Amino acid sequence: MKALLYLFMCGAIISCKKEIDNNGDNNGGGNDTIPVIITPTDPTVANSIGFFMNDWQPKNFIAPSYKDTTIPSSANITVTVDASTVVTKISPCLFGNNVNPYMTQMVTEPTLLTHITDLHPKILRFPGGNLSSLYFWNAAPGNPPADAPSKLLDANGNQIDPGYWYGNNTDSWTISLDNYYNMLQQTNSEGIITVNYAYARYSTAADPVAAAAHLAADWVRYDNGHTKYWEIGNESNGTWQAGYRIDVSQNKDGQPVVITGDLYGKHFKVFEDSMRAAATEIGKTIYIGAQLLDAPPQSWSTPTDMSWNQGVFGEAGNSTDFYIVHDYFTPYLQNSSAYEILATATDVTRSVMDYLNQSITSSGVTPKPIALTEWNIFAEGSMQMVSNVAGMHAVMVLGELMKNKFGMASRWDLANGWDNGNDHGLFSNGDEPGVAKWNPRPAFYYMYFFQKLLGDRFINSTVTGTYSISTYASTYSSGEISLALVNTASSAQTIKLAFKNFNAGNRFYWYTLVGGTDNNGFSRKVIINGQGPSGVAGGPDNYANLKAYSSTTAKGIELTLPPMSVVCMAVDKK
């Protein structure tokens, strides 16, 4: 049926003809549908994203090299991609990772640097996790500050060796601070730095908070504008963290034995004042984040956790530029199934943002950007962390972070320790049997191909006919559409695409990622468009030059998603 459509847009009248099919959607097939395309307005940047969007750049689609591939013609599942509304422009800071100080000097490892550059994480956090609470950025090995005690207390009050870490350590097994900066430059990345807040707790100086804040401010001066994003401490509420419990007989400013949220909030303001003053001196702008908990405290939570967020909000108030949380999605050290792992990507991401919004509102503080500076899975016992399922989970988390409007995220971490497959590392650290050092784990490939075809604006997509497919859609500034489809079912599913406010062009492209047949559903391999690793783990060596599958849109856009697979695709515009 032909119709004359009059649209009012930006004060002008647009007159055009279009062909309309029965449901008004363009399914990309033939010439039965030629809808009018309206460029949607970009929404206001969400408070939860804020300045993390500052480096956003428009993306133009570049078609990959491809090989023609036959597509099915019997789809019973419809995926509808709605390009009529932009949910959010995509924060460029969502794809980060964590560097730790025990993964070599890095600049001496060209294979690793190539993989990081290819992945393009943009943000690489340092010095990483719990070790930041023991890290002295300007000290040489064996030479901590004079007020750093030779013994610390664990959560139970037992004396332990601190095991301090040093920024001026040039040994081959670790990374110096200067080489961290060099690595960022060589991989086209930027940093987020976690300063040693715990030093404000265990220092024996007359004013330990001032000593620790001064050390952090001196790091800002030394950094000289290389780093925009700064965190005050790491998981400081945790019983596992240095400074959680201190020896009050050595403390000189009357701090309590165990840390509280309000104490951290008071100390945060001292750090913030010192670090901002340093940034002003050198004429640079920095953003400083404070730690929050990601979920409501439970009945078994420590007294510290019970009131942590309220204490931080009450004392730090609106001093912070952004809020920091960590989440490892699955239950701690449980042998979780693939289904249980994948379900957390949607449920946990949404619940974290909902809880933070509720906490912020009830505390009466100003909403600020949200940074998930550590995330991964805790599932262990079946090599879940190094499996294709971890890769599927990573794709879903990245999609859910966009949907829920997080500002920044950095996965934990680039390299860790094998531990019989209970290894968070994105790359093998050289201790994995039969696997070369820096060999990428499956999650690397899933994240690489997800980003390879990702546009710059997140849009809505829906699925009818199954509950086992998750979809994440985006558009390019040049007009094309990108879509990631995650099939969590144990059987293949055939889908067809339908569109709103989009004219499919002549061709579409895709990469299909599936696990191997090893390890009972938690494969250490990933097969991409039929190509897999040459060894016992990882993916194809030629991933950067791997040809996409492609087909014309003349008969519509249909695809079969293998069991437990991810398909990353892009569709030309007309």
Task: Report yes or no: 371 and 324 within 8 Å, Cβ to Cβ.
Answer: yes
DSSP 81-116: EEEEEEEEEPPTTSSEEE--TTS--STT-HHHHHHH
| Boundary (domain end) residue, out of 436, 452, 468 | 452
- Is residue 53 included in any domain, yes or no? no
Q: How many whole angstroms from its chain centre is CA 119?
A: 12
DSSP letter for 315, please.
H
Residues 325 and 446 in one domain: yes
In a domain, residue 280? The reply is yes
Cis previous bond, 145, omega within 30:
no
Distance between CA atoms of 126 and 222, rounded to whole angstroms?
A: 15
Residues 189, 312 share a domain: yes
233 and 85 together in one domain: no
d(CA 502, CA 457): 14
For residue 382, the domain's CATH number is: 3.20.20.80
Same domain, 256 and 138: yes
pLDDT of residue 429: 96
Both 336 and 239 in one domain: the answer is: yes
Whether 57 maps to a domain, the answer reads no
Shared-domain flag, residues 136 and 264? yes
Q: Residues near 254 by Cβ (< 8 Å), separated by ≥ 6?
A: none
Among candidate residues 167, 235, 244, the one with its CA nearest the CA of residue 202: 244
Look up residue 536 and give its two tokens. 């016992």
Boundaries of domain holding 258: 96-452
Q: Is 214 within the bounds of a domain?
A: yes
The answer to the question of residue 17 being in a domain is: yes
Q: Using an 8 Å Cβ cutoff, are 82 and 500 in contact?
A: yes
Residue 55 lies in a domain: no
* Residue 126, C-beta contacts closer than 8 angstroms, at least 6 positions apart: 98, 99, 101, 180, 191, 192, 193, 194
Does 402 share its domain with 346? Answer: yes
Task: Kindly give the confidence (pLDDT) of every residue in the chain, 574 residues in length, as a single tens digit, with 9 standing for 90 and above.
Answer: 333 332 333 333 232 333 333 333 455 444 455 668 999 999 999 999 999 999 999 999 999 999 999 999 889 999 999 999 999 999 999 999 999 999 999 999 999 999 999 999 999 999 989 999 999 999 999 999 999 999 999 999 999 999 999 999 999 999 999 999 999 999 999 999 999 999 999 999 999 999 999 999 999 999 999 999 999 999 999 999 999 999 999 999 999 999 999 999 999 999 999 999 999 999 999 999 999 999 999 999 999 999 999 999 999 989 999 999 999 999 999 999 999 999 999 999 999 999 999 999 999 999 999 999 999 999 999 999 999 999 999 999 999 999 999 999 999 999 999 999 999 999 999 999 999 999 999 999 999 999 999 999 999 999 999 999 999 999 999 999 999 999 999 999 999 999 999 999 999 999 999 999 999 999 999 999 999 999 999 999 999 999 999 999 999 999 999 999 999 999 999 9
pLDDT at 34: 66
Residues 445 and 467 in one domain: no
pLDDT score of 20: 32
> What's the domain count of the chain?
2
Q: Are residues 145 and 176 in the same domain?
A: yes
Same domain, 478 and 339: no
Q: In this structure, are 387 and 495 located in the same domain? A: no
What 3-state DSSP class applies to 468?
Answer: coil
Domain boundary among 452, 468, 489: 452
Residues 224 and 318 in one domain: yes
**What is residue 32's predicted lDDT score, i.e. its pLDDT?**
52
Last residue of a domain, one of 419, 452, 485: 452
At 182, give phi and psi (nearest 5°). Answer: -65, -40
Residue 340 falls within a domain, yes or no? yes
Residue 561 sits in a domain of what CATH number?
2.60.40.1180
Which residues, in sequence order, are bridge partners of residue 507?
Answer: 552
* Assigned domain for 313 exists: yes
Distance CA 158, CA 149 (A): 14
- Distance from C-alpha of 428 to C-alpha of 414, rounded to nearest angstrom: 9
